[in-house]
Structure 1
Amino acid sequence: MIRILFFILLVLALALGFAWLADRPGELSLIWQGQLIEMSLMRAASILISLFAAVLIVIWLVRAVWQSPHTVTRYFRARKRDRGYQALSTGLIAAGAGDASLARKMALRTRSLISADQEPLIHLLEAQTALIEGKYDDARKKFELMADDPETRELGLRGLFLEARRLGAHEAARQYAERAAEKAPHLPWATLATLDHRGQAGEWDEAIRLLDQSRAARVLEKKEADRKKAVLLTARAMEKFDRDARGARDDALAALKLDDSLVPAALIAAKALFREDNLRKGASILEKIWKLGPHPEVARLYVRARGGDSAVDRLKRAKRLESIRSNNAVALATVAEAALEARELALAREKAEAAARLEPTESIFLLLADIEEADTGDEGRIRHWMAQALRSPRDPAWTADGVTSPTWLPVSPVSGRLDAFEWKAPPLQLSGATEDGHPNADEAIRSLPPVSATPPAPEPEPAKPPATIEAEPAIRVPEQSEPSEAAGKAKEPEEAPDPFFGRPPDDPGVRDPAAGNKDKAGLRLF
């Protein structure tokens, strides 16, 4: 573009010069070797410019002839280099596609056309080809050569890191990651891998220092870096909680400033404040995180914040949580548990059934079974709730990489990944009877008869039948005999009661001896 502009300006200057001479005509006289030469000024200027152009053309021709050998050599060298880069590009594409034969062929062609000292990507192509062919030792040697070259150091270290992690050599992988993070702190993979390894080793101070360096270099996004630092601070607070409650409190509060939704940090901060008898501030922290998302561990710690409280006091605190987040299954279950401890069974049943309608989980139905045992003691109703619990989805738990933990952990025990645990339902669970995998809580509650105000009167014991089942390791079926007179004169109920679950029970018990003559197959146990 600059050349075109320069050419246009030159032509314009020549045109202006000739126009200026045309407006000022004149004669030019020249005596050379005794001869007088006369011509117009315009003609003389044209001859001078043409002569200058001819000289330039001659110089260009002489220079082209003189440099022609070098030009020809450079042409063929450039053509060979272009063919080598074309083979290198084809080989990298073939290696990425998994075509080992074509990648190996292109690697050999590239090596013959281009020197590896001039193009380090040849080592990468050969390493990738060796990985596809399963020659891991050759690939590792290529990555080591790349790691020694300052131009390809980071690429070689990453290849060595991936190979070490594939082989399970975690210590070697850690060393490669730390070396890459030291030489190039701007690499996200090196920073994250080093953080994970230091988290596995429990080196929280070193991990936090490395994370601060990466944040200064803007390797990670601000939100991701704040989350990881909050996790590291929480892990350090958990480690020092028993020996230094004040330091644990400061770390947990700093973690909450970075991520106010981190439940483990809130729990550690609240426990440390409760240990210092600062009940108000600890409760305010729990209430704040409860507003963001109700959590059973938060509710449990909030209700039992003060060890000397009575069951009625704990029920009041549970109601306080329900008032903050109403119409929530966790809040309703918390009130139901506290009401059960306070022996307010009607309130406990009401809240538990409401929680079951919102989220029918295993713990809700187990809580209903406990309430049923404390209220009526009816074994049939208790078995009903236990059966519903078996059919219900499992409760959420701290889950990472397919494993669950009773408490939150900063690092996954499977993959070693930092901040891997999430509060969610475990992957393996028993599905319910409905299409969406959840039992119908309304139907389960309606299938029960209403709870009577007074316990039912005990029924008279029926006459002992002659056929009994002895409590022995092997069950003996008694021989068929005629019913006794006492059993025959036993009082029959006027009206058979309705089945408890709307259908006959699974275990009918011992058959009435009066029906012994009707069934020739003997006594049916199941």
Structure 2
Amino acid sequence: MIRILFYLAIVFALGLGFAWLADRPGDMVVTFSGYQYKVSLMVAAVAITAIVAATMLTWWLTKAVWNSPFTIARHFRARRRDRGYQALSTGMIAAGAGDAALARKKNKEAAKLINSDQEPLILLLDAQASLLEGDHDTARQKFEAMLDDPEMRLLGLRGLYLEAERLGDRAAARHYAGRAAGLAPQLGWAADSTLEEKTERGDWDGALALIDAQKSTRQIERDVANNKRAVLLTAKAMSLFEGDFNAARVAALEANRLRPGFGPAAAIAARVLFRQNDVRKGSKVLETAWKTEPLPDIAELYVHGRPGDAVLDRLVRAKKLQSLKQNHPESSLAVARAALEAQDYMLARSEAEAAARMQPREGAYLLLADIEEAQSGDQGRVRQWLSRAVRAPRDPAWVADGVVSERWAPFSPVTGRLDAFEWKAPEERLGHLIEQDGEPAERVSIPSIPAAQPAGDDIVDVIVEDEVVPETMAAQPAPAYALPPATDGATLTDDDKAEPIRLPDDPGVDPEVERANAQKRFRLF
């Protein structure tokens, strides 16, 4: 639009100029070689303009003819390049769709039309086609060749990393990820893999530096970075608690500041403060974490946080902890344990039963069994609570990728993922359960498993009667355990007919012994 306006302005200016000359008549005299030429000023202006235009046209035609070979060559080169990029685009789409044959065909076409030094994507398409064809060795060679090109180096490291992961070589995968993270800290896959490797080696400072680099490049959000830093600082404090107390104290307090509701961070920070005899501040740290997520370790540390307390003082501290998180099973269990130590069995029983009502689980029934044994010593009741514990769901624990741990860990032992452990109930276990009245038939939807055949089920009662046998049954072969024919002319008596026929490999149990054992057999309920 601007160019059009510019051209119109030039034409308008030329028109104004010619109009101005037309309104002012005059003559132009040219003397050349004894001759005198006299023309009007308007004719002279038109002639000069025509000469200039003819000169420019002649120059353009001469230049076009002179540069025509280069122009034609450039045209064919551009057309060849366009065809090559079209083939490269089609090949990349085919590789993404999993069409190995089309990807290989278009890769060859693109390699013929475009130089691979000018377009590195040809090497990527070649490697992708090799992967689709199952030729992983060739693909690795292509990725290794990319390492020599600074522009393709990160892509080659990514390909080698994925191949190492596919082969299960975690050391090689982390080696390539470490090189990639050194070149580009903003790469998520490289930073995560390097972070896992550093945490497994216990290089907490290196892992913290990597988190700071990710945060500075805005690769991760601020809250995510603070959570990861809290996990790493907690692990660092736990590892240095016995060796370097001052460094552990700094790490623990910073971890608790970044994530106040994180149970492990609060626990290690409280241990540090209790060791410095700062019971008041340590108790506040535990109380804050307890309000967010009640954990048995926090309750244990809080109740026994002040050395020299009597059992009644511990019970008071447990009740205070219960007031911070009412109607929660962990609060009731904490009070029940403290009451059991204080030999207040009535309070211990009421709190343990309340916890079992709120959340029936193994730990509550085991605690009730301990209370029953300490209070009455009734082994029957103890066994009843133990049987309920066997049937009850499991207690919450630290779970990560299917691994159940009694203690918290900063990373998963399966995948190496940071902050993978969660406090939750593990999956239900399969096992033989003791039947008991008053218990629900099913707690978890588990596929039914055929019960094992009890002893004596291989005994077959044979009833001798005169009955009509259906034709379909008559056509079937006789069972393998049919009565053998009587030998030596012996005949079956009524007692023999009533006696069940046993399998040849099972001698069975003598009836008199079985009746005697039945009278002495122990019955649980």
Distance 1:3 1:356, change over 3 A: farther
Counterpart in the other structure of 1:276? 276
Q: For 1:345 and 1:18, locate their aligned partners in 2 and report how far apart those are by CA, in whole Å.
A: 119
Separation in 1, partners of 2:339, 2:401: 37
Secondary structure of the structure 2 residue equivalent to 1:119? coil
Amino acid at match of 2:115: S
Instruction: Verify: 1:38 aligned to 2:39, yes or no.
Output: yes
1:253 and 2:256 matched: no
Change (3 A) 1:178 1:479: closer
1:210 lines up with 2:210 in the alignment: yes
Equivalent pair of 2:92/2:103 in contact (CA under 8 Å): yes
1:132 alignment partner, SS class: helix
Question: Offset of 1:102 from its aligned partner?
Answer: 1.2
Amino acid at match of 2:259: D
Partner of 2:167: 167
Judged with a 3 Å threshold, the aligned counterparts in structure 2 of structure 1 residues 192 and 26 are, in CA distance, closer, same or farther, namely same
Q: Hey, what's the Cα distance between the residues in 2 that align with 1:382 and 1:11?
A: 111
Task: Work out the CA distance in 2 between the residues paired with 1:293 and 1:104.
Answer: 56
Cα distance in 1 for partners of 2:108, 2:68 equals: 32
2:13 is the alignment partner of 1:13: yes
Q: Report the alpha carbon displacement of residue 309 of structure 1 after superposing the two structures with TM.
A: 2.4
1:367-386 equivalences in 2 (<5 Å): 367-378=367-378, 381-386=381-386
Task: Look up the match of 1:486.
Answer: none
Shift of 1:152: 0.8
Contact 2:21 2:41 in 1 (8 A): no
Residue matched to 2:80 = 80
SS in 2 for 1:38: strand
SS in 1 for 2:147: helix
Letter in 2 for 1:263: G
How many angstroms apart in 2 are the aligned matches of 1:81 and 1:386? 80
Q: Which amino acid aligns with 2:61?
A: L
Superposed CA offset, 1:215-254 (max 9, x none): 3344433222222222222111111111223321211111
SS of structure 2 residue aligned to 1:409 = coil
Matched position secondary structure for 2:150: coil
Letter in 1 for 2:415: S
In the alignment, structure 1 segments of 5+ residues that lack a partner are 439-473, 482-507, 513-523
Contact map agreement 1:315 1:335 (CA 8 A) in 2: yes
Residues 27 and 480 from structure 1, CA distance in 2 versus in 1: closer, same or farther, beyond 3 angstroms? closer
User: Aligned equivalents of 2:183 and 2:164: distance in 1?
Assistant: 19
Aligned to 1:221: 221
Tell me if 1:510 matches 2:519: yes
Aligned to 1:393: 393
Q: Give the match for residue 114 of structure 2.
A: 114
Alignment of 1:189-338 (within 5 A): 189-338=189-338
**Partner amino acid for 2:27?**
L
CA-to-partner distance for each residue in 1:44-101, whole Å, 9 max, x for gaps?
A: 4444434433333332222222222111111111111111111111111111121111
Conservation of the 8 A alpha-carbon contact between 1:391 and 1:433: no
2:480 maps to none
Kindly indicate whether the alpha-carbon contact (under 8 Å) linking 1:391 and 1:430 is maintained by their aligned counterparts in 2.
Answer: no
Alpha-carbon shift at residue 30 of structure 1 (Å): 3.6
* Contact map agreement 1:27 1:40 (CA 8 A) in 2: yes
Q: Deviations over 1:330-362 (max 9, x none)?
A: 212211222222222332233223323332332
User: Does the CA contact (< 8 Å) of 1:510 and 1:525 recur in 2?
Assistant: no
- 2:524, 2:386 → 1: CA distance? 23
**1:26 maps onto 2:30 in alignment:** no
**After alignment, is 254-263 or 402-411 more displaced?**
254-263
Return the offset for 1:122: 1.0
Q: Which amino acid aligns with 1:510?
A: Q
1:387 to partner: Cα distance: 4.1
Distance 1:479 1:135 in 2: 71
TM-score (norm 1): 0.78
In the alignment, the residues of structure 1 paired with residue 126 and residue 288 of structure 2 have an alpha-carbon distance, to the nearest angstrom, of 57
Contact 2:393/2:428 (8 A) holds in 1: no
Give the partner amino acid of 1:256: N
> Aligned residues, how many?
453
**Distance of 1:39 and 1:113 partners within structure 2:** 63
Q: Is the 8 A contact 2:428 2:444 kept in 1?
A: no
Cα 1:480–1:30 change in 2 (3 A) is closer
TM normalised by structure 2 equals 0.78
* 1:256 Cα offset (Å): 1.7
Contact 2:25 2:41 in 1 (8 A): yes
Comparing 103-112 with 209-218, greater Cα deviation is found at 209-218
Segments of 5+ residues of structure 2 without an aligned counterpart are: 432-438, 446-507
